[in-house]
C-alpha cells in the first residue's frame, strides 16, 4: 500500500501539469503536450563545463543548448547538476518542438535599455533585440519557459509573450503531377537532368511550396494576367478552365484563337500562355508558372504589319478587363539597327495605367527585352521606363547569347540559349535547353507530332524560348507575388525584384546592384514571394527556399502516366500519351543536335532520350562536354528562333 501511495504522489503533479499545458500566441491559446525528448540548457554562469553533455548522443547543439531524443534517468540526473532539463512537446497535437529556455516578449513602449531592466526585474535575461520587429525582445529564463510566458500574459505583466522553440523546418519543393514537369528546368532545376546544361532556374516550384504552406494553394487565384500575342488555342487540354473572356483584334471578334493556315500560322501565343499559366497539377502535360492566375487572352495581328493603334486597343481591353499584369512577348523587329519608339499616345496610356491601374497601385506591364543581341535602347517598347524589361538567361546562369542588353534592361528570367556555332542571336544554329510548353494541338504548331520536337501527339513543344519565354515566365512569377501580397504597388514589386533577384553571370554589378547584361539579376520566385508575404505582415519563419525535391502530396509520381486510363504506364513498351519513348531505341543520326554515330536509348522516365552512347566522327561522346553534362543542341528553328520576340 505504501508503494502505491508513493507512486500516486510522484505521478499526480505530472498529470496536473499536462492537463493545462498551453501558451499564448497573438492572444490565442496554443495547446501543448509533453512527448519524448529533452532540452538541456547548460548554465553558463556556473563554473561547471558541459563536457558530459558533449559526450552524449545529442540531436542538435546550439550555443549552450542541447537537444536529445532520448536520455537515461542516470544521464538526466547528471545533466541536472550543471543546468536545467526541459521536456519536448507536441504542439497542437501534431508538431514536435523542443523548448529552448527562451521567451519572446513584446514591450512596444520600451527601448533596449529599458527592456533590459524590465527583464531583470521579471526574472529574465535579455539576449537579443530585433531591428525589423520593433518592440519584440528575446529573453532567457531560469524557469520553465512555457509556464513563464503564460504567467507574463495572464498576469498582464507583458502584452505578448510566447516560448521560443526549436522546430523542424522542412526543405521541400512542391512537385506537381504534370508528366512533362520533369523537363521544365526553368521552373525547378536541381542539376541532375543530364539533358540540361546547368543548374540555374527561377525557383518557381519552391515559391509554389511556400504559398501552398502559408496560403493553401500554389498561387494566383486572385490575379488577372493578360497576354497580348498572336493567338491562343482555347481547345488545348492544358488550358481548360484557364481563360477569362478575351478579344481578337485581328479578326474583330471575341475568339482569340490562332490562325493556323497559310505560310505564317499563329503558333507563338499558345506557347507563351503555357509558360505563364498553363494548368498545373492536373496530371496533363506541362505546368505554368502561375498555376491559378486568371488568363486574359488578347490577340493582335502579328503575322505581317500591325496598326500601332492595335496595341493601344489591346492595352485598353486588358485594363477594362481588370488585368493586374500585362505580358508582351513582342516588339519592333530585331537586328535592324533602327530605333523604334512607342507613339506618344501609347506612352501616355502606359504611364496612366501603370500609375492608376489596380485601384491606384499600378498595373504591371512586362515586355520581352528582345532577341537581337543588341542594345535594348533601340526598342522603345521594352525600354519604356514604366514597364519591366525582361531578358533571357540560360540554364548555366549566364546571359543567353541573343538577349538584348543596356541601361533599360530590368531583370532576367530563364529561357533557352542558342548554339554559338550558328552565330549570334538568330543567325542560324540550334536550340540549347529549350523550354517545354504548350503548342497548338495536333500538327498546327511548332511540333507537328514528332517526338523529337516534343510529344508524339504534337500538343507540346520542347524548343520554345527567347525573351518571348522569359517574359511570360516573369509575368507568371509576378502573379505569384501579387497573390502573396495584393496591396503591393507596381514600384514595390519592382523593388522586391531588385532586392531578391540573384546576381548571376560573370559580370560585376555596380553599387546599385545593376549590370548592363543582367539588369538587377535573374528573378528568384521563391525569394520574391517570401519578401512579398513578409511585407504583408505574414510570418514566413516556417518556410524556406531551396532544398531537395520531395513529393509533397499523394500525386502520381510516374512521369509517363497517360491521360487515357486504358493506357498502361511508363515501362510497358508502348509510347503512350504524354510519353516521348518507352523502352525503344533510335539511331543517333535521327536526333537533332546529337552526335551521328551510335544508338540512343529511351530514358527511364520515358520523357527523353539517353544520348550517352552517341558519338561524333572522332568517337567522342556527347557527354564529354562540360564535365559530362554538355548542352543539348537542336538544329531546327521550331520554337526558340521566333519571328516574334
- Given a cut of 70, is residue 44 above it in pLDDT? no
Q: What is the DSSP string of 398-423?
A: SB-TT--BSTT--EEEE--EE-GGG-
Of the listed ranges 19-23, 393-397, 447-451, 457-461, the one predicted with least confidence = 19-23
* 522 touches 413 (CB < 8 A): yes
Quote the pLDDT of residue 79.
Answer: 87
- C-alpha distance from residue 422 to each of 64, 216, 470, 623, 643 (Å): 61, 46, 21, 20, 17
Q: Would you give the DSSP letter of residue 230?
A: S
H/E run at residue 33: strand 28-42
Determine the Cα–Cα distance for residues 300 and 295; give it in Å rounded to an integer: 16
For residue 306, what pLDDT band results from cuts at 50, 70 and 90? low
Cell of 640: 526558340
More confident residue, 347 or 489: 489
pLDDT in tens, 463-473: 999 999 999 99
pLDDT in tens, 235-251: 999 999 999 999 998 88
Phi, psi values for residue 42, rounded to 5°: -70, 130
- Name residues whose C-beta falls within 8 Å of residue 457's C-beta, 6 or more positions apart in sequence: 441, 442, 449, 577, 578
pLDDT in tens, 51-84: 776 778 888 877 888 888 888 888 888 888 888 9
pLDDT in tens, 476-485: 999 999 999 9
pLDDT in tens, 321-364: 999 999 999 988 887 777 777 877 888 889 999 999 999 999 99
For residue 178, what pLDDT band results from cuts at 50, 70 and 90? confident
Q: Report the alpha-carbon angle 611-637-581, nearest 5.
A: 35
CA dihedral 256, 247, 382, 187 (to 10 degrees): -60
What is the widest separation between alpha-carbon atoms in the chain? 102
Most confident of 178-182, 338-342, 518-522: 518-522
147-160 average pLDDT score = 94
Determine the Cα–Cα distance for residues 269 and 273; give it in Å rounded to an integer: 6
Quote the pLDDT of residue 575.
Answer: 56
- Given a cut of 70, is residue 10 above it in pLDDT? no
- Name residues whose C-beta falls within 8 Å of residue 111's C-beta, 6 or more positions apart in sequence: none
pLDDT in tens, 551-592: 433 222 222 322 333 334 577 666 554 455 677 776 665 544
Quote the pLDDT of residue 62.
Answer: 77
438-453 average pLDDT score = 91
Of the listed ranges 7-21, 162-176, 599-613, the one predicted with least confidence = 7-21
Quote the pLDDT of residue 598.
Answer: 76
pLDDT in tens, 618-633: 443 333 332 333 323 2
* 154 touches 165 (CB < 8 A): no
Domains of the chain from N-terminus onward = 21-166 (no CATH), 181-433+471-535 (3.40.50.200)
Task: Report the catalytic residues.
Answer: 229, 268, 468
411-438 average pLDDT score = 76
Q: What percent of the chain has pLDDT over 90?
A: 51
CA dihedral 302, 306, 308, 309 (to 10 degrees): -90
pLDDT in tens, 194-226: 889 999 999 999 999 999 999 999 999 999 999
Q: Report the alpha-carbon angle 360-363-366, nearest 5.
A: 155
Packing angle, helices 204-215 and 467-484, rounded to 10: 20
- Given a cut of 90, is residue 517 above it in pLDDT? yes
Determine the Cα–Cα distance for residues 329 and 204; give it in Å rounded to an integer: 20
How far does Cα 483 stand from its chain's mean position? Answer: 13
Q: What is the DSSP string of 517-545?
A: TTBT-B--HHHHHHHHHHHTT---TT--S
CA dihedral 29, 30, 31, 32 (to 10 degrees): -130
Quote the pLDDT of residue 78.
Answer: 86
Query: How high is the mean pLDDT of the chain?
Result: 81
Amino acid at each position: 500500500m505504501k508503494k502505491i501511495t508513493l507512486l500516486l504522489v510522484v505521478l499526480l503533479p505530472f498529470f496536473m501539469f499536462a492537463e493545462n499545458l498551453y501558451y499564448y500566441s497573438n492572444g490565442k491559446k496554443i495547446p501543448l503536450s509533453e512527448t519524448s525528448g529533452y532540452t538541456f540548457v547548460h548554465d553558463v554562469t556556473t563554473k561547471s563545463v558541459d563536457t558530459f553533455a558533449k559526450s552524449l548522443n545529442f540531436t542538435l547543439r546550439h550555443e549552450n543548448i542541447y537537444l536529445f531524443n532520448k536520455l537515461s534517468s542516470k544521464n538526466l540526473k547528471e545533466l541536472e547538476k550543471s543546468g536545467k532539463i526541459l521536456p519536448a512537446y507536441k504542439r497542437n497535437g501534431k508538431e514536435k518542438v523542443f523548448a529552448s529556455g527562451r521567451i519572446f516578449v513584446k514591450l512596444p513602449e520600451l527601448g533596449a535599455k529599458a527592456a533590459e531592466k524590465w527583464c531583470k526585474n521579471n526574472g529574465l535575461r535579455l539576449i537579443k533585440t530585433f531591428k525589423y520587429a520593433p518592440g519584440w525582445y528575446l529573453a532567457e529564463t531560469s524557469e520553465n519557459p512555457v509556464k513563464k510566458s503564460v504567467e507574463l500574459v495572464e498576469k498582464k505583466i507583458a502584452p505578448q509573450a510566447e516560448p521560443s522553440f526549436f522546430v523542424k523546418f522542412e526543405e521541400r519543393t512542391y512537385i506537381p503531377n504534370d508528366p512533362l514537369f520533369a523537363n521544365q528546368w526553368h521552373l525547378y532545376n536541381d542539376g541532375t537532368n543530364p539533358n540540361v546544361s546547368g543548374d540555374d532556374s527561377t525557383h518557381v516550384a519552391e515559391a509554389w511550396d511556400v504559398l501552398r504552406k502559408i496560403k493553401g494553394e500554389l498561387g494566383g487565384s486572385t490575379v488577372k494576367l493578360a497576354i497580348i500575342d498572336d493567338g491562343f488555342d482555347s481547345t488545348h487540354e492544358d488550358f481548360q478552365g484557364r481563360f477569362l473572356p478575351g478579344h481578337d483584334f485581328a479578326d474583330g471578334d471575341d475568339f482569340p484563337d490562332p490562325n493556323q493556315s497559310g505560310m505564317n500560322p499563329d503558333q507563338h501565343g499558345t506557347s507563351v500562355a503555357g509558360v505563364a499559366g498553363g494548368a498545373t497539377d492536373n496530371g496533363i502535360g506541362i505546368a505554368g508558372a502561375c498555376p491559378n492566375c486568371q488568363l486574359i487572352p488578347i490577340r493582335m495581328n502579328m503575322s505581317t504589319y500591325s496598326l500601332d493603334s492595335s496595341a493601344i486597343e489591346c492595352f485598353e481591353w486588358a485594363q477594362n478587363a481588370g488585368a493586374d499584369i500585362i505580358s508582351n512577348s513582342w516588339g519592333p523587329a530585331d537586328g535592324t539597327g533602327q530605333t523604334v519608339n512607342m507613339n506618344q499616345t501609347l506612352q501616355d496610356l502606359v504611364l496612366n495605367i501603370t500609375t492608376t491601374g489596380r485601384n491606384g497601385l499600378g498595373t504591371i506591364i512586362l515586355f520581352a527585352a528582345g532577341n537581337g543581341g543588341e542594345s535594348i535602347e533601340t526598342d522603345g517598347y521594352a525600354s519604356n521606363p514604366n514597364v519591366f524589361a525582361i531578358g533571357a538567361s540560360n540554364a548555366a546562369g549566364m546571359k543567353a547569347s541573343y538577349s538584348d542588353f543596356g541601361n533599360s534592361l530590368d531583370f532576367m528570367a530563364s529561357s533557352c540559349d542558342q548554339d554559338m556555332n550558328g552565330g549570334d542571336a538568330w543567325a542560324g544554329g540550334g536550340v540549347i535547353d529549350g523550354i517545354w510548353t504548350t503548342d497548338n494541338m495536333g500538327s498546327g504548331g511548332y511540333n507537328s507530332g514528332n517526338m523529337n520536337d516534343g510529344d508524339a501527339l504534337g500538343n507540346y513543344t520542347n524548343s520554345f524560348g527567347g525573351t518571348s519565354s522569359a517574359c511570360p515566365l516573369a509575368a507568371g512569377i509576378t502573379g505569384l507575388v501579387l497573390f502573396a501580397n495584393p496591396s503591393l504597388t507596381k514600384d514595390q514589386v519592382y523593388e522586391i525584384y531588385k532586392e531578391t533577384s540573384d546576381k548571376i553571370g560573370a559580370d560585376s554589378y555596380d553599387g546599385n546592384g545593376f549590370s548592363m547584361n543582367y539588369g538587377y539579376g535573374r528573378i528568384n520566385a521563391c525569394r520574391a514571394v517570401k519578401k512579398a508575404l513578409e511585407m504583408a505582415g505574414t510570418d514566413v519563419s516556417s518556410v524556406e527556399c531551396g532544398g531537395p525535391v520531395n513529393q509533397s502530396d499523394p500525386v502520381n509520381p510516374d512521369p509517363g502516366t497517360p491521360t487515357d486510363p486504358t493506357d498502361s504506364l511508363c515501362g510497358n513498351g508502348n509510347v503512350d500519351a504524354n510519353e516521348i519513348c518507352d523502352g525503344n531505341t533510335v539511331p543517333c543520326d535521327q536526333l537533332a543536335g546529337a552526335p551521328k554515330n551510335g544508338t540512343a536509348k529511351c530514358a527511364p522516365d520515358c520523357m527523353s532520350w539517353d544520348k550517352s552512347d552517341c558519338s561524333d566522327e572522332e568517337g567522342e561522346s556527347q557527354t564529354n562536354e562540360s564535365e559530362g553534362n554538355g548542352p543539348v543542341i537542336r538544329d531546327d528553328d521550331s520554337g526558340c528562333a521566333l519571328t516574334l520576340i
